[in-house]
Amino acid sequence: MREFAEAIVAIAPVTSRKSRNRFLRECDRWTNRLYKCDLVSLQQRQELRRQIAAACLVALM
């Protein structure tokens, strides 16, 4: 899942704080839809969100 999260962030426009926050909100909506459709468990959703946020931080450094 880490590689997946890094790939998502690699194509995302996260150059400013505003765009990063918008991107993270969209990711939250996306992971929530996956969870509601029973495609991922709650633990998998939380792990995916954590890895996407970590990849965003690494991309900004």
Name residue, tokens 């899942």.
1
Residue 59 · residue 14 · CB < 8 Å: yes
Distance CA 21, CA 16 (A): 9
How much is the pLDDT for 33?
A: 92
How much is the pLDDT for 35?
A: 92
pLDDT digits (tens, 9 = 90+) for 28-56: 898 899 899 999 999 999 988 888 888 77
Q: Where are the domains of the chain?
A: 2-60
Distance CA 46, CA 15 (A): 24
How much is the pLDDT for 13?
A: 65
Least Cα distance to 46 among 31, 26, 60, 24 occurs for 31
pLDDT digits (tens, 9 = 90+) for 4-31: 666 666 666 667 778 778 888 888 898 8
